[in-house]
Amino acid sequence: MKFFSYFVLFALMFVLVEQTYGNVDESEPKAEDEETKEDKKSEDKENNEIEAAPLNSNPSNQSGNNAAAQIAQMQRQMNNVLRRKAAAQRQRDNFQRKRERAQKQRIAKLRNQVNAMKKKKNGKNGRPQRKRNQVNRRG
């Protein structure tokens, strides 16, 4: 179970990194001429003007917030699993304690019965009663 949770965490981190940084193509040429740089700068300015909306307006469009939400959801799920496991263990422990307590009570009941039989056989104080001497009884 621990391995599975680490695997899920690793996969989630991988997804987070991929969503944040995207696929990087290394096949792009390193040397660019001046015209393409200027074109890209003008496109970036236009894109920045278009994307001037507040950042937190729609979190589903942002990969960082989405990934953070996914991480939080995964943590909640893992906590729920651990909580259920702990509850199941407590239930097993309680059942075992209840069974042991019932067994001790049965043993005590049998011990009391045996002791009662001994007392009945031997008398009230657990020793044989002495026969009273009838010499003192004079009519």
pLDDT in tens, 12-52: 888 888 887 776 555 555 555 555 666 666 666 655 555 44
pLDDT of 1 > 90? The answer is: no
**What is the 3-state composition of the chain as percent helix, strand, coil, each rounded to the nearest 5?**
75, 0, 25
For residue range 69-107, what is the model confidence (pLDDT) as tens digits?
999 999 999 999 999 999 999 999 999 999 999 999 999
Higher pLDDT, 116 or 85: 85
Strands (E) across the chain are located at none
Q: What is the mean pLDDT of the chain?
A: 75
Please state, for a pLDDT cut of 70, what percent of the chain lies above it: 55
At 10 the pLDDT is 84
Of 61, 46, 8, 110, the closest CA to residue 102 belongs to 110
At 74 the pLDDT is 93
pLDDT of 115 > 80? The answer is: yes
User: What one-letter code names the amino acid at 130?
Assistant: R
At 53 the pLDDT is 47
